[in-house]
Structure 1
Amino acid sequence: MHSLPIFVALKGRPVILIGAGPAADAKRRLLERAGADIVDESATAALAIVADGDEAAAARLRARGVLINVTDRPDLCDFTLPAIVDRDPVLIAIGTGGTSAGLAKVLRQRIEALLPATLGKLATALYAAQPRIRDRWPQADDRRHAIDAALAGPLDPIHGKGDVDAWLDASKTPAETGLIRLHLRSDDPDDLTLREARLLGRADRIYHRPEAPAAILNRARADAERIACAAPPDALPPGLSIDLETA
């Protein structure tokens, strides 16, 4: 991973913008959408966008400890600006590390066509329902399993109806527990079936052989335990465990 993707809350915060013309106008619109307070080089700010390729300005800002983006100069950038799919409050960012804005744009267009306009409403409804969800499933693992199951079923973000209240009224989803064995056919994560990818995303822990490919393990939840071993233990902890058998 060449950089760490993060979402920065800019509402009311100063961001330096240097440059004029179409490139600067585009960056200004983006910053305005994010609610940033756009200021000039003399102001104090943590972030700056140099839209005219001014290397001297970039050097001055970097010397002040400001993180900078220089349009079309990835070699001078501390951060890059991704292509964005906006389903507020859901944001999807596609970055190429500044290597190909055209590729990022095409990927954004493909994802735009896939995601319904109602996706943001689903996220907002799930947030509003958090007290009911916590009451229904007091344990964090049980909540996560129930939400995972719902998003693969009645609340599917692409094909589901998105009725969170109806799901909570009807839901009797049991906690997903036990051991599931997955046998890898190759080291390529693209060879995973949709079911296998979903199971990796839901599992609480992954028991794997020491030679298991990192590209496959990276498909699991970031907070799932990765346990290198010859075989899982006979007595398993609560929750969903995956025994990942290598090809």
Structure 2
Amino acid sequence: MTLHSLPLFVRLAGRPVILLGEGEAADAKRRLLERAGAVIADERTDAALAVVAIAEAREAGEAVARLKARGILVNAVDRPDWCDFTLPAIVDRDPVLIAIGTGGASAGIAAALRQRLETLLPAGLGGLATALYQSRTALRAKWPAIDDRRRALGRALAPGGALDPLEASAEAVPAWLADAGVTGSGLLTIQLRSADPDDLTIREARLLGLADQLYFRADVPRAILDRARADAIRVPSAGPPIAPGPGLAIYMEMA
């Protein structure tokens, strides 16, 4: 499955971003860029990014062409076919940022999902993230191997875990570090009931997110493999491996 865009988080604090246009659309983009610390600039400025919020199509098209000719990446408001990048709907739980984009297909869907997520994500989520960041020395001391740390965090952050992001607060981190045990490893088998990744159970989806190695038959669809970590080793296999590598290995086949 091909991504229509690669989501990126760009640090704009103190950096110029060209903004062209007037009215509500331009004002909305200005507020968002200023919130990110960008310096709003005119077309003559040397910048890497530009937002064109010009209502009149011909004038907007000419501005987009001029900017792109200079190698500047452009967002053209309400004209997705002209965009090099889009600006997502954002859920802010500093330092946690959740960006929702549709590639310009439907800003309404992105906004609706943002509103739904705002009601689901606790206000203390950012505090939990900050506490984990501040505990990174203790995490490395407890689990020197990066794969062990990742599995430990995966188990703790899973639904119902000690650090479930929808339930836990920053205060839970020290207690978890004191009590956390051995991380998961070994070989597990998942028999897929369908080729639709949405049919994965919560447990299966969580295991895919934790796996270090994926062994799979040829009929396992790419859409399901894409639910695993990007850095997980992927090995086509006619059957379960005799000697899987270290960490958590998963063998997948269609039922």
What are the equivalent positions in structure 2 for 1:2-21 lying under 5 Å apart?
2-21=4-23
What are the equivalent positions in structure 2 for 1:1-247 lying under 5 Å apart?
1-53=3-55, 54-152=60-158, 153-162=161-170, 163-171=172-180, 173-247=181-255
In 1, distance between residues paired with 2:253 and 2:218? Answer: 10
Structure 2: state its 5+ residue gaps. none
CA-CA distance at 1:204 after TM superposition:
0.3
In 2, distance between residues paired with 1:184 and 1:57? Answer: 51
The answer to whether the 8 A contact 2:53-2:77 is kept is: yes
The answer to whether the 8 A contact 1:154-1:161 is kept is: no
In 2, distance between residues paired with 1:87 and 1:58? Answer: 33
Q: Please, what TM-score do these two structures have when normalized by structure 1?
A: 0.97
Deviations 1:207-234 (A, max 9, x none): 0001210111010011001110101321
In 2, distance between residues paired with 1:214 and 1:236? Answer: 21
May I ask how many residue pairs the two structures share in their alignment? 246
In 2, distance between residues paired with 1:148 and 1:165? Answer: 16
SS at 1:148 equivalent? helix
The answer to whether the 8 A contact 1:207-1:243 is kept is: yes
CA-CA distance at 1:246 after TM superposition:
1.3
Q: C-alpha root-mean-square deviation of aligned residues, in Å?
A: 0.9
| Aligned amino acid, residue 232 of structure 1 | P
Runs of 4+ in 1 over 3 A off after TM superposition: none
Percent identity between matched residues is: 63
In 2, distance between residues paired with 1:78 and 1:66? Answer: 9
Deviations 1:153-200 (A, max 9, x none): 1100002244211111222x2121111110000001111110000000
In 2, distance between residues paired with 1:81 and 1:114? Answer: 22
Deviations 1:123-162 (A, max 9, x none): 1111110000000000011101111111121100002244
SS at 1:122 equivalent? helix
CA-CA distance at 1:22 after TM superposition:
0.7
CA-CA distance at 1:104 after TM superposition:
0.7
In 2, distance between residues paired with 1:52 and 1:23? Answer: 9
Structure 1: state its 5+ residue gaps. none
CA-CA distance at 1:99 after TM superposition:
1.2
The answer to whether the 8 A contact 1:49-1:70 is kept is: yes
In 2, distance between residues paired with 1:105 and 1:244? Answer: 36
Q: Please, what TM-score do these two structures have when normalized by structure 2?
A: 0.94
